[in-house]
Chains A and B, each alone.
Chain A
Amino acid sequence: MSSRRGRITDEEINELISKLQALLPESSRRRTASRSSASKLLKETCGYIKSLHQEVDDLSDRLSELMSTLDDASPQAEIIRSLLR
């Protein structure tokens, strides 16, 4: 994507930063101005990554709970168990 010709130009960095901005969720994109500083954008990105990590943990928790309910003898549990086999 970026060509490493010795020194990285500011344009390339700004391009990468705007790509990052495009990845952030809509709500934070509206809050930050279109020409926000790189530092602010990095802060948003850090917050977003942290929230994603937190979501992974919460979903892992939920999945592990659901998995323990699979040990019941309900027909739905049997279907899901066959899915996991």
Chain B
Amino acid sequence: MDAKGAPLPTQPSPNPSRLASGSASAADAPKPMLAFHFLRALSRVHAGPARRRTRTISRAAYSSMARAAGPRRAWSRALLRQAQARRSATLASRRTAVLVRRRVAAGPAPPLALPRLTGRSSGSSGETSAARAALLPPPSPAPRQAGEPARSDALRRLVPGGAGMEYCSLLEETADYVRCLRAQVQLMQGLADLFSCQ
């Protein structure tokens, strides 16, 4: 429950606290935690390749938002699952590519090495299919409850993990999701302003 309990190794600058005092919002995703996770992700993006940074940053925004909120919310769990699936899919495909290259380069590979490689690749292809299944939208949404307006279908698609929820939980999750989304947007705006005043 206490998201601030996690130790912050480096508080990057006084800016997170300034951003925090800027708006009064519920303490679902406390601003310093949000800033910490997002800045850490941003430094990784900065260190990484320069191509497709926009998409990487956008994904980092949702992941850090989910991490700051923690696993007690269905929407954050859904986002974290999506990020995990994406990571394992990338790793599995990269691993398979490396194995293919190794096999080609090795030529007549010793028989001992191959079973290990194939064992791992079959495991990773199992991971890939599971990961891809997790990435796909849920096949059949739960039937709408009595008295639930038709608009809730659209809302279920927008809120992560919303498809299988009861109407009541959907409303709760939406409120929390909106609050955290707003905080994330404010954080990103603050950072963009900070970086652009050169």
**Which residues of A approach B to under 8 Å, CB–CB?**
1-2, 4, 8, 10, 12-13, 16-17, 19-20, 23, 37-39, 42-43, 45-46, 48-50, 52-53, 55-57, 59-64, 66-70, 74, 76-77, 80-81, 83-85
Contacts and interface: CB of A to CB of B under 8 A. Distances in A.
Interface residues of B, number: 47
B188 A12 contact: no
B152 interface: yes
A26 to B, nearest CB: 13
Given A23-B178, A42-B152, A2 B58 contact: no
Looking at chain B's contact residues, the main secondary structure is helix
Contact of B198 (A23, A43, A77): A77
Given A23-B182, A80-B194, 6 more contacts: A38-B149, A45-B174, A53-B158, A61-B54, A62-B196, A64-B45
Given A42-B151, A52-B178, A66 B195 contact: yes
Most buried by A among B12, B50, B168, B189: B168
A61 B52 CA distance: 10
Contact of B151 (A43, A68, A80, A84): A43
A19 B179 CA distance: 11
Interface string B39-82: 10011011000100111111001100000000000000000000
A48 B62 CA distance: 17
A85 B42 CA distance: 9
A27 to B, nearest CB: 14
